[in-house]
Structure 1
C-alpha cells in the first residue's frame, strides 16, 4: 500500500546554469569493487518506498543516501551538526530542476572518493546544496544526507530485493540468468536515465503506450504528463495534491485512479496516478519524449534488476505484487522535527478530509494511535496504521499547545 502521507515523490532533474564550474565537468569517475568478488550485497532501509544506503564521502562517517535512478549526480542535501565532511576544492554554481520556483545555489566539488561496503569510487563529483530544500530528514523520520544514482547504476548490475531489503551489486561483465518467474524488458539509456515502455488503461477503456523514466527516487506508483499526449486524460474523480519537491520548488498537481498499468505480461489494477501541473514539469516535458515516470510503489512489488550494461530490466514479482493501492486515507501529513526520536507533528491537513472533519490541526503532536504509544512507533508504523482499508476507525490522542485532545476518524478513499 502506498506510503505517501509525508513524502510523495522525489523527481530530480539537473539543469546546470551559469558559473565557470560547468566547463570543469569533464573528468569521469571510476567506481569499482575493492576485491575480486563478483558481487556485493548491502542491507538497506526502506522508508516511504525509498532505498536508503550507507555512503562515505572522503573521510566521512557512513551517511544515509537515497538510491535514486532518476539522478545523475551525487547530491548532498544536508549535513547535521554531528556530521563531518571534507571536500576538495569547491566552486559555487547555480542549478535548476523540476518545480515552481527559482534557481538554487550549490557547491560543486570533484576529485573526491566515494565508498560503499566493498565499493570505491575515485575522482567522484559531489554537489552540496547551500539550502536544505528537500527537508528529507524531517519527512522520513531519520537522518538523510543526500542522493546518489547514476554512478551506481552505470557501473554495476543492480539488484534491489524489496522483500529482503538487500541491494546486490554485480560486476558489469556478468550476464545474470533470468529467474524462472522473471520477465525481461529492454531499457533505453538516454542521457544517464533509463526508460521503459509500458501501457496504461484509462477510465474510458483506452489503452495507451507510454514511455516512462524509471525512478527509484519517486515514492509514488506512476506519474503521467498530460501535455505529452492528447490521449492522456484525467480520471473523473481526482483530488488536488502536493506531489513532492523538485530542485526548483514544489511540484503540485492532481491524483486520480487509472484502471490498470501494464508492463509486459504483468498488469497491475486500480492504482493511483499522479498528474503534475504543466508549470511544475516544464523542465522535463520535452526530454526524451517521455510521458512520465515509473516510481517505487510499483517497483517495490518486484525484485528489480537494473542491468544498464546490457540495457535491460528484469522484474520478478514478490509477495506484495497483489496488494491494493491506498492513498492518504486520512488527509493529514506528518513531519518529524527530531528525526529518529519518534516525535510526530501534524504538518498539514487537507480540506474536507477525514482528518479535517475530525478536528485535527497543523501543529498537533501525535501521542497515541489506537492504544499504541507513538514513542514506540517508527514512522513507517505510524503510516501503516493510517493507510489501511477504507472504513477503519482510527483513535488518536494528541497534544495541542498544553492541552490533551482525543479524536476519532474513519479512513476514507478520496479518489
Structure 2
C-alpha cells in the first residue's frame, strides 16, 4: 500500500432496518448506452488508488464519484451549496455496515436518472447520507460527491486501464477478446459482490486458499479476516493502524507483510496486508464465507477486465507489476481543507513514525518539499514524494500558526 494510511474502506454493507430492507428489495434500475454503441471509453482520475469518474444525477452538473466494485447501492456522501439533484420519491431511513459506531441517517430516493458520458440509467436508486462521515473531499483533494459500483458492473463488461487512466464499458452481450498475456479467472457472483479465489503464503510457510471480494473502492492491497479461518495468522512484525472508515465508524486493526500473494500464474511478493479488528467487520465475516477483500493496490498493477455477464475476471500485468509495496513511509497523512486548491495540511501523525520523530503536528501546513513549492503540486504529486522509497531524505518547510519550520525527514518502512 503506497497511499499513506488512507485505506478508504468503501466496501459498504447495507444491512439496514426493516424499512430499508423493504426498499432494497425493490426492482433495480437498468443502465445502457445512450446511442447505438458497442463500447464507450471514459477518462478517470486516480487518487489514493481510487477511480474517480464523472456522474450526473437527474439535472445535476457532473459530480465526482468513486467507482467501487464493493458497493451495492449508489451513495451520495456530500452535496455542496451549488449542487442540485431534484431527487424523486424520497423517504428517510437508517443504514448500518462496517465499522464500530452508530447507524447513519440517510434519504432513499427512487425514480432518478443517472448518466455518464455515453451512458444512461433509468429508475435509479440513490442513498444520500445526511452526515459527511467519509470526508472524501478533504482526503481526495477535490470536491467529492459519492460512490457508485454495482449499477455499472452488472450492466456492462468493464475494462480498467490503470496505466492510461481509462475506463471502457462494453455491451454486456459482447465477449471481449483479450491479449495472449492475459490470464482469465472464474468470477464468483453472490448478490452484488464479485469474488475470486487466490493463495497467500504466510510467514510460517503456510499456503492458504482464500476467498476475497474484489474491491476497487479499497485503496490497500488486501485485507484478511482473522476470524474467518483459524489458519490465517498475524505476521511476527505488525503495527497498530487506522485502516479506514466504514459506514458505521472507524475501522482499526493491524498491518503486516505476507510472504506472497498468488492469483493464477501471477505472484506478488512481500506485500502489506491489513487485519481488521473483529468488532469492525462483524457484519462481513459470515457473508459468502469470505476471508477478506482484494484492493486496488494490487489491482492497479494490471489491466483489469470485470466481465460479470460471462462470470470472468481477466488480468494483464502492466508496468507497475514489479514495483515494491510500501506502506506509509512518512508516517503522516495529508488533507486538503479547501478541496480543489493546492493547500496541504498534516491531518494525522502516526506514533513512532519518521514524522513523529521530527516533530510534525496535525495542522502543520506543507510549504516546500525538496525545494518544490507545494502550491505548485497536485495531491498525487505530493503523495508520490512522500511514498517514493525507504531511505529517501525529504527537506520540508512547514507553517505552524505564524512560524515557518524546517525539518529533515527520512522515509522509513516500519513493517
TM-score w.r.t. length of structure 2:
0.98
CA contact (8 A) 1:11 1:244 kept: no
User: Which portions of structure 1, spanning 4 or more consecutive aligned residues, are displaced by more than 2 angstroms?
Assistant: 4-11, 18-25
CA contact (8 A) 1:57 1:114 kept: yes
Which residue does the alignment assign to 2:407? 407
The unaligned stretches of length 5 or more in structure 2 are: none
> What SS class does the counterpart of residue 79 from structure 1 fall into?
coil
Give the whole-Å Cα distance in 2 for the aligned partners of 1:8 and 1:95: 18
Give the whole-Å Cα distance in 2 for the aligned partners of 1:22 and 1:364: 47
| Aligned 1:199-348 pairs, distance under 5 A | 199-348=199-348
CA contact (8 A) 1:18 1:93 kept: no
Which residue does the alignment assign to 1:11? 11
Shift of 1:19: 2.9
> What SS class does the counterpart of residue 288 from structure 1 fall into?
helix
> What SS class does the counterpart of residue 284 from structure 1 fall into?
helix
CA contact (8 A) 1:153 1:308 kept: yes
Which residue does the alignment assign to 1:349? 349
Shift of 1:307: 0.1
Q: Deviations over 1:19-71 (max 9, x none)?
A: 37724741221211111110000000011101100000000001000000000
Give the whole-Å Cα distance in 1 for the aligned partners of 2:27 and 2:239: 46
Shift of 1:201: 0.4
Give the whole-Å Cα distance in 2 for the aligned partners of 1:164 and 1:378: 18
Aligned length: 415
Give the whole-Å Cα distance in 2 for the aligned partners of 1:20 and 1:226: 30
CA contact (8 A) 1:329 1:413 kept: yes
Shift of 1:333: 1.1
Give the whole-Å Cα distance in 1 for the aligned partners of 2:409 and 2:212: 37
Q: Deviations over 1:51-104 (max 9, x none)?
A: 100000000001000000000000000011222221002100110010010100
Shift of 1:412: 0.7
Give the whole-Å Cα distance in 1 for the aligned partners of 2:7 and 2:295: 13
CA contact (8 A) 2:20 2:94 kept: no
Give the whole-Å Cα distance in 2 for the aligned partners of 1:37 and 1:19: 39
CA contact (8 A) 2:8 2:217 kept: no
* 1:33 paired to 2:33: yes
> What SS class does the counterpart of residue 280 from structure 2 fall into?
helix
> What SS class does the counterpart of residue 16 from structure 2 fall into?
strand
Q: Deviations over 1:85-129 (max 9, x none)?
A: 210021001100100101000000000000011110000000000
The 3 A distance-change label for structure 1 pair 91 and 8 is closer
Give the stretch that moved more between structures: 295-304 or 22-31: 22-31
Which residue does the alignment assign to 2:162? 162
Which residue does the alignment assign to 1:51? 51
CA contact (8 A) 1:6 1:335 kept: no
CA contact (8 A) 2:6 2:219 kept: no
> What SS class does the counterpart of residue 283 from structure 2 fall into?
coil
CA contact (8 A) 2:5 2:243 kept: no
CA contact (8 A) 1:16 1:22 kept: no
The 3 A distance-change label for structure 1 pair 23 and 392 is closer
Which residue does the alignment assign to 1:176? 176
Which residue does the alignment assign to 1:151? 151
Which residue does the alignment assign to 1:122? 122
The 3 A distance-change label for structure 1 pair 223 and 6 is closer
> What SS class does the counterpart of residue 283 from structure 1 fall into?
helix
> What SS class does the counterpart of residue 94 from structure 1 fall into?
strand
CA contact (8 A) 1:349 1:360 kept: yes
Q: Deviations over 1:289-342 (max 9, x none)?
A: 000000000000000000000000000000000000110001111111001101
